[in-house]
Chain A
């Protein structure tokens, strides 16, 4: 009995440490926040969000053809739901142009902005980043 409990506790400790090990360091989170909060007002507004995401578009577009494919996005962010990519790809050509991309991430901004005040707070940002680890 006690051996079984011990094994369970050990398993939980291993899994917990693995989960926390995947999380970004506070310094990494802060760098991401600082990069997005350009005017340093303590919020990320829609313009700041779109600007930083346009930077991301450029960096993720590996072949610099002006479009993002699912492969290019997955190469950077790890996993991405193919269905969500297809929904964002409105002309169904298998790649996102900058307009489809901006439209999609604008919706992601709305989703992250849980109190709908037009800006992302630190807490909302943390929730968004949690999504990146799922």
Chain B
């Protein structure tokens, strides 16, 4: 008789423990009205690290990415590599994360690092960025802003 009762009770006890275990998840979270909620906020934080994925972005860069004397020393292949890296950085890299480029033919290289993302008053996305360019062993650093055009290209605005 006792054995039969135990058979009935044990699964119930197990269930209580399981439910109690589930209930403790997320304790300490305040419920907030008007927020997106802990689940969404946590997921968005993770999304910011993941960026826009690792694929090569297809857009183009409008305007001069690298100016000045060092820009004049870049050849067509350097510019192509730099533009490819810039497009990828603007489309997919979280702020603070660099995308590097390198021309294997001459060893020239550089990095593009978005530093801040914002929207203009008309909803256009812009990203501030920092870049380094190393030509013939000489490295130059520059800052700029690029804004995304409706067709997916990025216009260098400063």
Interface residues of B (CB under 8 A from A): 3, 6-7, 10-11, 14, 17-18, 21, 25-52, 92, 94-97, 116-119, 123-125, 127, 148, 152
Contact = CB atoms under 8 A, between A and B. Distances in A.
Contact of B152 (A31, A64, A81): A64
A122 interface: no
Contacts of B29: 111-112, 127-128, 130-131
Contact of B48 (A5, A53, A112, A132): A53
How many of chain A's residues touch chain B, expressed as a range?
Answer: 35 or more
Given A103-B34, A128-B38, A133-B25, A32 B45 contact: yes
Nearest to B36: A104
A108 B38 contact: yes
Given A66-B123, A127-B26, A59 B51 contact: yes
B145 to A, nearest CB: 14
Contacts of A65: 123
For the complex, would chain A's binding face be called helix, strand, loop or mixed by DSSP majority? helix
A54 to B, nearest CB: 5
Contacts of A108: 32, 35-38, 40-41
A71 to B, nearest CB: 13
Contacts of A84: 35-37, 40
A88 B36 CA distance: 7
A77 B36 CA distance: 11
